[in-house]
Amino acid sequence: MSEFVSKNLAVNEKGHLTIGGMDTVELAKEYGTPLYVMDEDLIREHCRSFRRSMEKYYDGAGLVCYASKAFCCKEMCRIAKEEGIGLDVVSAGELYTAAGVDFPMDKVCYHGNNKTDFELCMALKYKVGRIIVDNIFELERLNELAAEAGVKARIMYRIKPGIDAHTHDFVKTGQIDSKFGFALETGEAFEAVKRALSMEHIEFVGVHCHIGSQIFDIAPFAEAAEVMLCFIEKIKKELNYEIRELNLGGGFGIKYTEEDTPVPYENYMEHVSKRVKELCKEKGIKQPFILIEPGRSIVAPAGITLYTVGGIKEIPNIRTYVSIDGGMGDNPRYALYKSAYDFVAANKADRDKDSVVTIAGRCCESGDLLGEGVSVQTLEPGDTLAVLATGAYNYSMSSNYNRVPKPPVLMISDKKVKIAVKRETLEDIIRNDE
Ligand SMILES: *Cc1c(COP(=O)(O)O)cnc(C)c1O
């Protein structure tokens, strides 16, 4: 039996898969399927390891902000609040969720490439710590709205640092073509800083970049920090303005399958801090306050999804479809990106993975699959199938396509179950219908 991709998973004496010490077959029986199960203790451990790395390597002169788009509900905001980390939001809905647990708003970053007036006003009303401004139109609008509200907006700029680390081999080209942020190469970012500094209702505190997602190398983060510090130096020299904050975004990789090789989360801050300190000394600029924004890496390894196997269709010499009671509605990532996952028959997790099948969802779409040609124990109708490392971008990306109610989210801590999100009912499905 090979090891699982997440360390909170194991097999018990019945041969059942466990998460945080709880029998997943029992959970599926009690709460029904599809079912999201998250290990709260592991989420907290990840929050702490990022926070600790900021303290240990950067003297605590920074803030870890959890990117809530990865998984957002009140319980997750409560956990972030209790762990003393900040929160990234990208919509009124995420901000409202944070407000619902009295999240300290000075630790909130508001992102997005097209915030509405309603959202900008809401961010001002709640006094969020930093609004990450994406473009000049938004800057002008925010200045007007802040004037109307009689306040000053604290902002950072989203910068395209010209580093694309979406793949293993990061390249320094092509990034001008992104819908996010101000370009450095064209002078757009520099002109925008001049404009912000001239505005009465804008307090310009820093610059932000986010170079991609599911990144396994440390080098692109250090490289991005270097590009950003050069810009900070240029602003200091040419505009005599010292930028105080540097936000390096998220994107730290996690293990979805055996092929993924993430580095320990502490290593990012260790390397980046060292580089930032060196460069600041070299350039004669003040060490900026640093923000990082892990999303996936905090929640993905902590979650699994449990399904019940239905019909199995063997097409001779072609493939075998195993149908489950969920799919793209609760996990659109395979349909969107062909994302790879690890599959385990939860009720026979001690057996060998001796079959190769295609996992089919229940929606009326041929593309509603969770994996093709995946290795798993031989499945039969009624088995409980676990998909691993689904804690990020699953519940948060779920939909009601085909009017299928969304599954609930359970949080496991110290072998106790908390319902973080209730299962949707059929009544919920028609709630807004007139
Ligand atoms: C999505 C996003 C993150 C988090 O990315 P992960 O890959 O989940 O760590 C952080 N910052 C910004 C601005 C983002 O858009």
Q: Write the DSSP string, 313-336.
A: EEETTTEEEEEES-STTT-THHHH
| 134 Cβ inside 6 Å of ligand 1 | no
| 208 Cβ inside 6 Å of ligand 1 | no
Selection from 24, 17, 19, 22 nearest residue 7 by Cα? 19
What pLDDT is stored for residue 73 in this prediction?
98
What atom in ligand 1 is closest to the CA of residue 212? Answer: 7
**Residue 171 confidence (pLDDT) above 90:** no
What pLDDT is stored for residue 120 in this prediction?
98
Rg (CA), the chain: 23
| 46 Cβ inside 6 Å of ligand 1 | no
pTM value is: 0.96
Q: State the CB neighbour count (10 A cutoff) for residue 403.
A: 9
- Please state whether 111 falls in left (phi above 0), alpha (psi between -120 and 50) or beta: beta
What pLDDT is stored for residue 170 in this prediction?
59
**Residue 51 confidence (pLDDT) above 60:** yes
What atom in ligand 1 is closest to the CA of residue 70? Answer: 8
What atom in ligand 1 is closest to the CA of residue 214? Answer: 7
Q: Ligand 1 centre and the CA of 87: distance in Å?
A: 11
Q: Compute the CA torsion angle 143, 146, 147, 153 (nearest 10 deg).
A: -70
| 297 Cβ inside 6 Å of ligand 1 | yes
* Cα 329 from Cα 341, distance rounded (Å): 16
Cα separations in angstroms, 152 against 94, 131, 235, 291: 22, 11, 21, 21
**Residue 18 confidence (pLDDT) above 50:** yes
What pLDDT is stored for residue 178 in this prediction?
81
Q: Ligand 1 centre and the CA of 347: distance in Å?
A: 35
End-to-end CA distance of the chain: 54
Contact call for residues 34 and 407 (beta carbons, < 8 A): yes
- Mean pLDDT estimate for the chain: 95
* Confidence class for position 1, pLDDT limits 50, 70, 90: very low
Q: What is the pLDDT of residues 329-377, one digit of tens each?
A: 999 999 999 999 999 999 999 999 999 999 999 999 999 999 999 999 9
Q: Ligand 1 centre and the CA of 39: distance in Å?
A: 21
Q: State the CB neighbour count (10 A cutoff) for residue 120.
A: 23
Q: Ligand 1 centre and the CA of 403: distance in Å?
A: 29
DSSP-H helix ranges across 116-169: 117-125, 136-149
Give the SS3 label for residue 13.
coil
More confident call, 163 vs 238: 238
| 95 Cβ inside 6 Å of ligand 1 | no
Q: What is the pLDDT of residues 177-186, one digit of tens each?
A: 788 899 998 9
| 253 Cβ inside 6 Å of ligand 1 | no
Q: Compute the CA torsion angle 256, 261, 267, 268 (nearest 10 deg).
A: -60
What pLDDT is stored for residue 15 in this prediction?
98
| 72 Cβ inside 6 Å of ligand 1 | no
CA-proximal residue: ligand 1, atom 10 (nearest):
250
| Catalytic annotation, residues | 364
- For the chain, percent helix, then strand, then coil, each to nearest 5? 35, 25, 40
Q: Ligand 1 centre and the CA of 242: distance in Å?
A: 26
CA-proximal residue: ligand 1, atom 3 (nearest):
250
Task: Give strand ranges (E) for 161-223.
Answer: 182-183, 202-208
| 51 Cβ inside 6 Å of ligand 1 | no
Partners of 159 in the beta sheet?
A: 182
Q: Ligand 1 centre and the CA of 250: distance in Å?
A: 5
Q: At what angle do helices 136-149 and 117-125 cross, to 10 degrees?
A: 50
* Cα 48 from Cα 141, distance rounded (Å): 37
Across the range 34-50, mean pLDDT stands at 98
Q: Compute the CA torsion angle 45, 49, 50, 55 (nearest 10 deg).
A: 140
Q: Ligand 1 centre and the CA of 351: distance in Å?
A: 37
CA 219 to chain centre: 20
DSSP designation for 252: B
Give the SS3 label for residue 174.
coil
| 130 Cβ inside 6 Å of ligand 1 | no
**Residue 7 confidence (pLDDT) above 60:** yes
Q: What is the pLDDT of residues 265-297, one digit of tens each?
A: 999 999 999 999 999 999 999 999 999 999 999
Q: What is the pLDDT of residues 131-163, one digit of tens each?
A: 999 999 999 999 999 999 999 999 999 999 888
Cα separations in angstroms, 315 against 308, 322, 357, 361, 376: 21, 11, 11, 17, 18
- The preferred substitution site among 63, 76, 88, 208 for testing ligand 1, maximizing ligand atoms within 8 Å of CB, is 88
What pLDDT is stored for residue 176 in this prediction?
72
Q: At what angle do helices 40-58 and 266-283 cross, to 10 degrees?
A: 20
* Cα 269 from Cα 280, distance rounded (Å): 16
CA-proximal residue: ligand 1, atom 15 (nearest):
210
What pLDDT is stored for residue 373 in this prediction?
97
Q: State the CB neighbour count (10 A cutoff) for residue 133.
A: 30
Q: What percent of the chain has pLDDT over 70?
A: 97
Give the SS3 label for residue 269.
helix
**Residue 164 confidence (pLDDT) above 90:** no
| 295 Cβ inside 6 Å of ligand 1 | yes
| 199 Cβ inside 6 Å of ligand 1 | no
Q: Ligand 1 centre and the CA of 213: distance in Å?
A: 7
What atom in ligand 1 is closest to the CA of residue 213? Answer: 7
Contact call for residues 153 and 142 (beta carbons, < 8 A): yes
What atom in ligand 1 is closest to the CA of residue 295? Answer: 8
